[in-house]
Every structure is written in C-alpha cells, then in structure tokens.
Amino acid sequence: MRILIIGGGGFIGQKLAARLAQDGTLRGAKITALHLVDVAKAATPSASFKVTADTLDIVDRDAVDRLTAKGWDVIYHLAAVVSGQAEADFVAGLRTNFFGTLNIIESARASGTRPVMVYSSSVAAYGGEVPQPIEDWTNTNPQTSYGSQKVIGELLLNDYSRKGFIDGRGVRLPTVVVRPGKPNAAASSFYSSIIREPLQGQPAMCPVDPEGTKGWLASPRSVIENLIRTANLDSEALGQNRCFNLPGITVTVAEMLAALKRAGGQAALDQIDYDIDPTIEKIVEGWAVDFNPQKALALGMMVDADFDSIVSGFIEDELNGKIAAT
C-alpha cells in the first residue's frame, strides 16, 4: 500500500501522517511507502516502512505529473489556500484551490492507476439562503471564494469517479478546533486561538460577538479518525454522491469560552480581549452551523461528545496535560 499526502506539511497532514505511521495499515493492507509533499518540506514521522517528503506546488502540472507517475494506491488531497486568504487574494485561491485541484485529479486520471482519492472539502460549501439543519441532499450555496472553489473540486471528484478515472471520496470538514501552533490566514483561525493561547498563559483576540456567533466544529482527533475511515470505505457504500458532510457539533463562541473557563479557570478567560472584525464576522456568518450528517453517521464516522472533550483532548495531545492558567 503506497500512500501520498498532498498538503502533508500542514497541521492535518502531519497528524494524518503520524497516525498512518502508527497504524501501519490502510484499506486492509500493510503500508509500504508514505510520501508527503507541500510547498515547504514536511517533517516525517518514524515508521516501520519508508516515509519520505518533498516540495511541490500543485499549480505546477508537470511536477504533479511526475509525482503521480510514481503510482499511489491512496492519495490524500489536503492542500489549499485557506478561507481568509482566498477571499483577500482571489487569484491565489483560484490557482491553488481550483487549478491545483484540477491538476491533481487530471494527473491521476492520466496515470491510469485509478487511485483512491480523499479530498478535503469544507462546510464553507454551504451558506446564504439555505434552510438549516443542512441535510445530505441540501444544495451547496457557498458565500465565499474558498467555498466556491471547494465545491468545484467536489464536482470534479464526482465526475472523475463516475467515469472510473479515480475512486474519489470528498469530506466536508467542520472547523477543526483546537489547532496547535500559531494562527493562520483562515477566517476561522480565532476559534482555535481563543482556546489555545489562554491555556498557555498568552493573550488572544476574539473578533466576533461571542453570543451571536456559532460554529460547526470538530476535534483534530475525530477529523483524523474520519479521514482514515473515509479511505477505508468500499466504493459501493458511497453511492452516487462521493462527497458528504463530516459530523461536528454546533457551539457558540460564548459556550467555547465557558469551556475554556472550566478547563483553565478565570485566569484563562481573562486572557481574552474583544475587538469585532467586520470582515471576519461577515465570512463566518456566511457559513452554515447546523447539520444533520446522516450519511456520515451511516458510514461509521466518529462524532465528538462535546466541546469540553475537545478542549481536554487538546490539553492531552498538545500541552502534555499541563496548562499555564490555573
């Protein structure tokens, strides 16, 4: 089993690689090679099989062709220009999220190997005048360039799978919280920073109204588990629509801050400042936050219990069980 992770240097890519290295199998077969590519060279986990990394810009079709020609049983496509950046720089988002995705899917077709391809889409595919809760059959209605570009990728994935060029499956990720590291250009970045920084005794800014802002959230643990389970699915189980919503939980920012206080006390909560950013607020308000992911549940996807468990998972996995604010 040969596995390729495109976007392997990112937060999700790194956690996925570590999990695959630990498990040693995917789709019922032993992993023999794992290769990570990104615009910057990714770190590689220790494993009982060969793990390598290299640089790649998916906008470069020739480079993508050389990569896919090596033959991969499973390709994870996680690379993207994130939401806030794609909205601020339309051309950058279009080049990577649309043309880059087209390069990957078309190159996989040209290789003739029909790989399993797991594509990370987003709940930004929904928004605007759409009834909630979102059902599996609800039409996508993106209200951002990022969401539109992700939906285009979904359509390509479905059509190339229908034609038998690839064995695709696309998952619409909720906002993943709590992400380690530093804030990025995603409009949703504050969802992590208002938990991550205070638990380490550092200040954080909340750019939205805590009472009026909700999110559809999932933990890194559940997202990685569901990426593994998605790759393991039989094609027949996916039906005619290869893309589906991953499970999450609907949480207000105020509820997130209450969980922060339960975990880190008043000292953690006091690290939060509030400064409304109309641009971020508008983007976030354009996302749907209430889903009924029946297809994902029927396919055996994992669901987080509550936001407190998400916070405790971050403390265990990223802070070695220790918090600065008590």
The answer to whether 321 and 315 have CB atoms below 8 angstroms apart is yes
Task: Name the token pair of 241.
Answer: 């629509």
- Residue 239 is classified by DSSP as T
Taking phi first (over 0 means left), then psi (-120 to 50 degrees means alpha), and beta for anything else, what does residue 7 get? Answer: left
What pLDDT does 163 receive?
Answer: 97
Q: What's the half-sphere exposure (Cβ side, CA atoms, 13 Å) at 172?
A: 35
Q: pTM score, two decimals?
A: 0.94
Exactly one of 146, 160, 191, 274 is catalytic; name it. Answer: 146
- Residue 319 is classified by DSSP as S
Q: What's the half-sphere exposure (Cβ side, CA atoms, 13 Å) at 111?
A: 25
The DSSP string of 170-230 is EEEE-EE-S--SS--S-TTHHHHHHHHHHHTT--EEE-S-TTT-EEEEE-HHHHHHHHHHH
Q: Looking at the chain, which residues constitute the CATH 3.40.50.720 domain(s)? A: 2-174+217-245
Stretch 126-153: mean pLDDT, rounded?
91
CATH code for the part of the protein at 189-216+249-291+305-318: 3.90.25.10
The answer to whether 89 and 146 have CB atoms below 8 angstroms apart is no
The answer to whether 231 and 118 have CB atoms below 8 angstroms apart is yes
With a cut of 90, say whether residue 72 has pLDDT above it.
yes
Q: Which CATH superfamily is domain 2-174+217-245 in?
A: NAD(P)-binding Rossmann-like Domain (3.40.50.720)
pLDDT band at 129 (very low <50, low <70, confident <90, very high): confident
- On average, the pLDDT of the chain sits at 95
With a cut of 70, say whether residue 236 has pLDDT above it.
yes
pLDDT band at 201 (very low <50, low <70, confident <90, very high): very high
What pLDDT does 188 receive?
Answer: 86
d(CA 258, CA 276) in angstroms, rounded, equals 19
With a cut of 70, say whether residue 323 has pLDDT above it.
yes
Phi, psi (5° rounding) for residue 33? -155, 140
CA distances from 192 to 53, 72, 210, 251 (A): 27, 33, 14, 13
d(CA 138, CA 143) in angstroms, rounded, equals 15
Give the residue carrying structure tokens 């499973």.
74
Stretch 178-204: mean pLDDT, rounded?
91
What pLDDT does 185 receive?
Answer: 72
Q: Looking at the chain, which residues constitute the CATH 3.90.25.10 domain(s)? A: 189-216+249-291+305-318
Residue 146 catalytic? yes
What pLDDT does 326 receive?
Answer: 53
With a cut of 60, say whether residue 130 has pLDDT above it.
yes
pLDDT band at 170 (very low <50, low <70, confident <90, very high): very high
The answer to whether 18 and 9 have CB atoms below 8 angstroms apart is no
With a cut of 60, say whether residue 179 has pLDDT above it.
yes
